[in-house]
Amino acid sequence: MASQQTPESAGFAADIDERLTLGVRSGLLSNLHAVLALRNGDIVLERYFSGQDEDWGRPLGSVDFDAATLHDLRSVTKSITSLVYGIALDQGRVAAPGDRLLDSFPQYPDLAEDPQRSAWTVSDALNMTLGTEWNEQLPYTDPRNSEIAMEQADDRYRFILDRPIVSEPGTQWSYNGGCSALLGYLVERGTGQRLDDFANEALFAPLGIETFDWNRGNDGVVATASGLRLNARDLARIGEMMRADGRHDGRQVVSSQWLKRCRTPQVQASYGNKYSNQWYLSGQPVPAANGFREAIFAMGNGGQRLFVMPSLNLTVVTYSGNYNRMDQWINPTLILQKIVLANITEI
Q: Give the pLDDT confidence of 42-92 residue by residue, as tens digits.
A: 999 999 999 999 999 999 999 999 999 999 999 999 999 999 999 999 999
Q: Closest Cα partner for 255 from 79, 88, 38?
A: 88
Contact in structure between 318 and 37 (CB atoms under 8 Å): no
Q: Over 70: is that where the pLDDT of 1 sits? A: no
- Determine the longest span between alpha carbons in the chain, in angstroms: 63
Q: Give the pLDDT confidence of 257-286 residue by residue, as tens digits.
A: 999 999 999 999 999 999 999 999 999 999
Amino acid at 244: A
Angstrom distances, CA of residue 148 to CA of 139, 165, 178, 266, 298: 9, 19, 10, 27, 21
Q: Closest Cα partner for 305 from 108, 106, 96, 71?
A: 71
Do you know the residue count of the chain? Answer: 347
Distance CA(18)–CA(127), nearest Å, equals: 39
Q: Which DSSP letter does residue 4 get?
A: B
Residue 249 phi, psi (nearest 5): 50, 45
Domains and CATH numbers, the chain: 8-71+232-343 (3.40.710.10), 79-191 (1.20.58.710)
Average pLDDT over residues 330-344: 98
pLDDT of residue 3: 82
What does pLDDT average to over the chain?
97
- Classify 323 in phi/psi space as left (phi over 0), alpha (psi -120 to 50) or beta: beta
pLDDT of residue 279: 98
DSSP codes of every residue in 88-99: HHHTT-S--TTS
pLDDT of residue 231: 98
pLDDT of residue 2: 72
> pTM for this structure?
0.97
Distance CA(347)–CA(339), nearest Å, equals: 16
Share of the chain above pLDDT 70, in %: 100
pLDDT of residue 171: 95
pLDDT of residue 331: 98
141 pLDDT band, cuts 50/70/90, is: confident
